[in-house]
Each structure stands twice: as structure tokens, then as C-alpha cells.
Amino acid sequence: KQEVTQIPAALSVPEGENLVLNCSFTDSAIYNLQWFRQDPGKGLTSLLLIQSSQREQTSGRLNASLDKSSGRSTLYIAASQPGDSATYLCAVETSGSRLTFGEGTQLTVNP
Amino acid sequence: NAGVTQTPKFQVLKTGQSMTLQCAQDMNHNSMYWYRQDPGMGLRLIYYSASEGTTDKGEVPNGYNVSRLNKREFSLRLESAAPSQTSVYFCATLRGSEGSITEAFFGQGTRLTVV
């Protein structure tokens, strides 16, 4: 059974700091890995998707990497802003188009 | 272009009552999903429908039933609500097919409390 773990569970940083969120998964037989953002009381918004054959994806200040063999992904946020405060979740796609989610990292960026 | 629409947004039920959560997508995607989100547990898959006319159990299907009414609509029914079903429920759809998913879209969620 695929299990996805995110560390840390919560993170608080001052504005402007670069930061890294971690995601690990137990079964490397994945099609892709996605990072999502969830604001309080809202649904999930897809940020980045990395196919299993790729090593990284970038969107603006966000960079996600994938090391499928070791079962790890990181989400790097450069020059963090208070507007980046949210919960970040990673999910892997396995057979049957099923997504397995981690518990999320709650990020607070302080002005 | 609404994307994924869930109704209702909030609901309070008494133990033993039944209700149906509605979900509709206007993106012409084949697959649709129901998740529940509980504190510290991430999102867990309840049921999914890979295409119109098919449904399959996910990780936590007990106490729920689903109906894929047509390509647009996928409903989740609680026949006899229990306090353990207090949660936030999300409907989702994926662009692409197995192995070539390109993006996931989520509704805004239904916050359900069973007392």
C-alpha cells in the first residue's frame, strides 16, 4: 500500500526566506507526483505536476524536484511572501488514476 | 466556466439521517473522485469513477454509496450518518487518463457535521 509522508507538519518563516518542503512515498511505482496548495476553508489548487520520467518542474518562485528511486520530492519556494501562507500537499498517482495524498505542511510566512 | 461545483457547502446532520452530496464538473473529464479530509490524515479516497457507468471503492468506502449519474455528475450518499463521518468532503476530477494525468481539479468542499 502506497504511503505518503510530508515533513515538517508545520513551518513558520520570516518573509523573504527560501524554504523547502519535503514529501516521501513508499512505493516508487508512480506515474507522477503533484504539489497542491490549500487555503483555509478552500479546495485544493494544483501547483506543479512532475511526470515519473522528469526530475523537476518550475513555476515562478516554485521549483519541485522528484527522485523516484529514493521515493522523495521537494518543493522549493524562493523569496517567500505572506501570501504563500497555506497548507501544501503532495500526492502521487498510482494505478487506476488514484491519487494518494500526504498529510500536508502548514506554512506560515510572517511579514 | 465553473470547474468543479459541490453542493451543499455546509451541512449538519443528526445521527441516522441520510443525505446526498452533489458534484458536477463542466470540463468533460472522464474520471471523478470523492475524498474526505480529516485533521492530520490528509485526503483519503472514498469512491471514484474512472468513466461514466463505472464506480470503484477507494480507501474508506464503508458507510457511503455513489452514483455516476452521467459524465458531468457524481454524487455521494450517506444512508445513515454517524459522528465518525464528520469531515470535509471534496470532489475532484483529473485531466488526462491513467499514466498521463496532467492536472487535478477540486471543488470547494462540503463541511459536514454529524451530531
Do A96 and B50 count as a contact with CB atoms less than 8 A apart?
yes
- Spell out which chain B residues touch chain A, with contact meaning CB-CB distance below 8 angstroms: 4, 31, 33, 35, 40-45, 48, 50, 56, 58, 90, 92, 94, 97-109
Q: Tell me the helices (H) and strands (E) count for chain A, helix number first.
A: 0, 11
Task: Please name the residue of chain A whose CA is at the shortest distance from the CA of residue B104.
Answer: A46
A84-98 pLDDT tens trace: 999 999 999 887 778
DSSP track, A66-84? EETTTTEEEEEE-S--GGG
The pLDDT of A12-35, averaged and rounded, is 95
- Residue A33 in contact with residue A50, Cβ under 8 Å? yes
Contacts of B106 in chain A (CB under 8 A): 43-45
Do A95 and B92 count as a contact with CB atoms less than 8 A apart?
no
Do B104 and A46 count as a contact with CB atoms less than 8 A apart?
yes
- Residue B55 in contact with residue B48, Cβ under 8 Å? yes
Lowest mean pLDDT among A41-50, A66-75, A92-101, B29-38: A92-101
The pLDDT of A32-43, averaged and rounded, is 92
Contacts of B99 in chain A (CB under 8 A): 31, 93
Contacts of A99 in chain B (CB under 8 A): 33, 43, 45, 92, 94, 104
Residue A21 CB neighbour total at 10 angstroms: 22
- Cis peptide bond upstream of B83, omega within 30: no
Give the nearest partner residue to B50 out of A4, A97, A102, using CB atoms.
A97
Q: Dig out the grid coordinates for A17 from the structure.
A: 526566506
3-state secondary structure B14-54: CCCCCEEEEEEECCCCCCEEEEEECCCCCEEEEEEECCCCC
Contacts of B32 in chain A (CB under 8 A): none
Exposed, middle or buried: residue A63 (CB in 10 Å: 0-12, 13-18, 19+)?
middle
Q: By C-alpha distance, which of B5, B45, B39 is closest to B24?
A: B5
Give the nearest partner residue to B98 out of A4, A46, A95, using CB atoms.
A95
The pLDDT of A54-73, averaged and rounded, is 96
Contacts of A4 in chain B (CB under 8 A): 42
Q: Tell me the helices (H) and strands (E) count for chain B, helix number first.
A: 0, 11
Give residue B39's pLDDT band: very low, low, confident or very high (50, 70, 90): confident
* pLDDT exceeds 90 at position B100: no
